[in-house]
Amino acid sequence: MHYNLLFNGCSYTQGGELEGINKDYEYRDRHRYSHIVSERLEKTYDNISISGSSNDRIVRETLEWFNAGNTCDLAIIQWSHIDRLEYISSYAKHPVNFNPPFVFTGWGGPKRDHEETKIAHEHFYKHYYNPMLGIYNFYKNLYILEQYCEKNNINYFMIKLSSKFSNKSSKLLLNDNPEDLTNFYWKTLCKHDWFDIPPIRDTMFNTREKENFTLNYKHLGHQFLTGTHPSELGHQRIADFIINKIETK
Amino acid sequence: MHIFFNGCSYTWGDELENKLEERFSTLIANHYQAEHANISDCGRSNDAIARTTMEWFVDGNTTDLAVIQWTIISRFEGYDDLNKQYFHVTVDKKSKWEHFYKNYYYDQLGVDCLFKNYYLLEQFFIANKIKYVFIFHDCWSNTIINLDSVWKKFIIKKDFHFLRGMFSQKCILINPLIDDCHFKGTKGGHPNTLGHQAIANYLIKEIDNAL
């Protein structure tokens, strides 16, 4: 199927928390930035983002989307935290996304699978992962995506979640500072650089302004409604930025 | 003509008495009267093979043909943040990585890692108009063939060549390059001079097809 625009990313692109305590996912879909951009530009679109996504998943499923015969005029890819990783769960053989604080399962797998995946997750961050491997993996994914898009004449535009390399809940905070980094080999081959990709947070909207974020309902027992995702206003500001980029381009 | 080789101990020529003369990379280069570079090393993972290959090109080198020998899928590459260097994660170092293999690793991850790196190098070679021949270490070849991988469907060349046949007759996709007699005289399971000659003979046919 042909769409004018394709969006892929993590919860910021999925519209995380816009559904509110009423779990109104239709409302979420109509107020997230992908819808706003498409509506204002009078374009058709598909949004295949998933909350908690790693960059591994974002790249893999973008390629799979095209490979399934879909086409678009412009792919808008939102990169996620670099310390997330896609892991194929050993028991159910289902992809899950590792995040330092927890695992995003996204499916009702069997208990045994959850247990084994949890052990793998703990081991991965405790004994194997470090920020350099995260950066290494980011550039590898960036290279794959760029090569695929260039080879198949796909127009693409990239944004990233944050200027920081990792989730604030991990201890692996690296700010945007090229001098901190080894000149990775995949990076050398990439057309883009992490530092050139505009971040949503603090570029498209100010993270100090509360109105840009959803309300926090955690105290009411809503574990995933913590007020850490863009509100309707936040999404409008992201949309403003993207529309401006598209029109300038 | 220039030929580039990368791989693990098989390509490095481990256990050969005169590895620089006897390993299959030299035999192939001699056959074509070509210049060659063999940057393989013992214990390398598929991550490391892809990385060091790309580093070689990033350093400004170029070649007409690349022969990549993918290795055992259970190997991974880690990064020592303190000493700023990569290291091998391998079952050979049981005491150090026992928990990694017990709690994290299983074959699906190894196959996915292999084919993601395969896809990366294949795309790089195609984009840069470099001919390439890929061969596999024979360990886990059953797994490589039978396990599905998301990256497997994106690769172009799907004719898998294994360094030696060591599986049951059910594995009809296997191309045995060298039989067990070619391993006599070696202790660690690496090919001897006859083994390297057999690999070279096989690869020359593949290279002729690729050129």
pLDDT in tens, A18-34: 999 999 999 999 999 99
According to the model, what pLDDT value does residue B166 have? 27
According to the model, what pLDDT value does residue B140 have? 61
pLDDT (average), residues B132-139: 83
Higher pLDDT, B99 or B67: B67
| Topology of the domain covering A2-83+136-248 | Rossmann fold (3.40.50)
pLDDT (average), residues B142-165: 75
Q: Which of B58, B108, B153 sits opposite A67 (nearest CB)?
A: B153
Higher pLDDT, A41 or A92: A41
DSSP string, chain A: -EEEEEEE-SHHHHTTTTTTTTT-HHHHHHHSHHHHHHHHHT--EEE---TT--HHHHHHHHHHHHHTT-EEEEEEEEE--TT-EEEE-TTT--EEEEETTEEE--S---HHHHHHHHHHHHHIIIII--HHHHHHHHHHHHHHHHHHHHHTT--EEEEES-SSSS-TTSS----S-GGGS---HHHHH-SS-GGGSPBTBTTTB-TT-GGGB--B-GGGT-TT-BS-SB-HHHHHHHHHHHHHHHHH-
Task: Look at B154 and A120 and tell me if their CB atoms are within 8 Å.
Answer: no
According to the model, what pLDDT value does residue A163 have? 73
Q: What percent of chain B has pLDDT over 90?
A: 41
Whether the CB of A126 is below 8 Å from some CB of chain B: the reply is: no
Residue B142 confidence class, pLDDT cut points 50, 70, 90:
low
Residue B12 confidence class, pLDDT cut points 50, 70, 90:
very high
Measured distance CA(B173)–CA(B171) in Å, rounded:
5
Whether the CB of B31 is below 8 Å from some CB of chain A: the reply is: no
According to the model, what pLDDT value does residue A92 have? 65
Q: Which amino acid appears at position A108 of this protein?
A: G
Model confidence pLDDT, tens digit, residues A188-220: 778 888 888 999 988 898 888 999 999 988 888
Task: Look at A87 and B153 and tell me if their CB atoms are within 8 Å.
Answer: no
According to the model, what pLDDT value does residue B178 have? 44
Q: Where are the domains of chain A?
A: 2-83+136-248, 88-128
According to the model, what pLDDT value does residue B164 have? 58
Whether the CB of A213 is below 8 Å from some CB of chain B: the reply is: no
Surface-to-core class of residue A134, CB atoms within 10 Å of its CB (0-12 exposed, 13-18 middle, 19+ buried): buried
pLDDT (average), residues B172-181: 38
**Residue A80 scores a pLDDT above 60:** yes
How far is B39 from chain A, CA to nearest CA, in Å? 16
According to the model, what pLDDT value does residue B152 have? 84
Model confidence pLDDT, tens digit, residues A228-238: 899 999 999 99
Measured distance CA(A135)–CA(B183) in Å, rounded:
41
Query: Mean pLDDT in chain A?
Result: 85
How many cross-chain Cβ pairs, A to B, lie less than 8 Å apart?
Answer: 62
According to the model, what pLDDT value does residue A177 have? 46
Of A28-42, A66-80, A128-142, B116-130, where does mean pLDDT reach its minimum?
A128-142
Residue A132 confidence class, pLDDT cut points 50, 70, 90:
confident
Task: Look at A120 and B79 and tell me if their CB atoms are within 8 Å.
Answer: no
Long-range contacts of A185-188 (CB under 8 A, 24+ apart): A185/B51, A185/B54, A185/B55, A185/B58, A186/A136, A186/A139, A186/A140, A186/A142, A186/A143, A186/B54, A187/A135, A187/A139, A188/B58
Q: How many CB atoms lie within 10 A of CB B127?
A: 12
Task: Look at A185 and B54 and tell me if their CB atoms are within 8 Å.
Answer: yes
Q: How many CB atoms lie within 10 A of CB A153?
A: 6
CB B8 within 8 Å of CB B72: yes
Residues of B in contact with A63 (CB under 8 A): 154
Identify from A83, A98, A132, A145 which residue to disrupt to test chain B contact, counting B C-beta atoms within 10 A and taking the largest count.
A132
Higher pLDDT, B92 or A35: A35
Of A36-40, A113-117, B120-124, where does mean pLDDT reach its minimum?
A113-117
Whether the CB of A173 is below 8 Å from some CB of chain B: the reply is: no
Task: Look at A144 and B119 and tell me if their CB atoms are within 8 Å.
Answer: yes
Task: Look at B123 and A87 and tell me if their CB atoms are within 8 Å.
Answer: no
According to the model, what pLDDT value does residue B51 have? 92
Whether the CB of A171 is below 8 Å from some CB of chain B: the reply is: no
Higher pLDDT, B141 or A47: A47
**Residue B19 scores a pLDDT above 60:** yes
**Residue A180 scores a pLDDT above 60:** no
Task: Look at A63 and B108 and tell me if their CB atoms are within 8 Å.
Answer: no
According to the model, what pLDDT value does residue B171 have? 25
Q: What percent of chain B has pLDDT over 70?
A: 82
> What is the gyration radius of the CA atoms in chain B, in angstroms?
17
Whether the CB of A114 is below 8 Å from some CB of chain B: the reply is: no
Task: Look at B104 and A124 and tell me if their CB atoms are within 8 Å.
Answer: yes
Of A45-49, A89-93, A177-181, where does mean pLDDT reach its minimum?
A177-181
**B 68-127 → A contacts, CB under 8 A:** 78-79, 81, 84, 89, 99-100, 103-104, 106, 108-109, 112, 116, 119-120, 123-124, 126-127
**Residue B86 scores a pLDDT above 90:** no
Higher pLDDT, B143 or A66: A66
Measured distance CA(A160)–CA(A166) in Å, rounded:
12
Whether the CB of A174 is below 8 Å from some CB of chain B: the reply is: no
Task: Look at A189 and B54 and tell me if their CB atoms are within 8 Å.
Answer: yes
According to the model, what pLDDT value does residue A164 have? 67
Whether the CB of B166 is below 8 Å from some CB of chain A: the reply is: no
Model confidence pLDDT, tens digit, residues B21-80: 999 999 999 999 999 999 999 989 999 999 999 989 988 999 999 999 999 888 999 888
Model confidence pLDDT, tens digit, residues A142-174: 999 999 999 899 999 999 988 765 544 334 434
CB B195 within 8 Å of CB B150: no
Task: Look at A88 and B109 and tell me if their CB atoms are within 8 Å.
Answer: yes
Q: What percent of chain A has pLDDT over 90?
A: 51
**Residue A125 scores a pLDDT above 80:** yes
Residues of B in contact with A131 (CB under 8 A): 81
According to the model, what pLDDT value does residue B177 have? 44
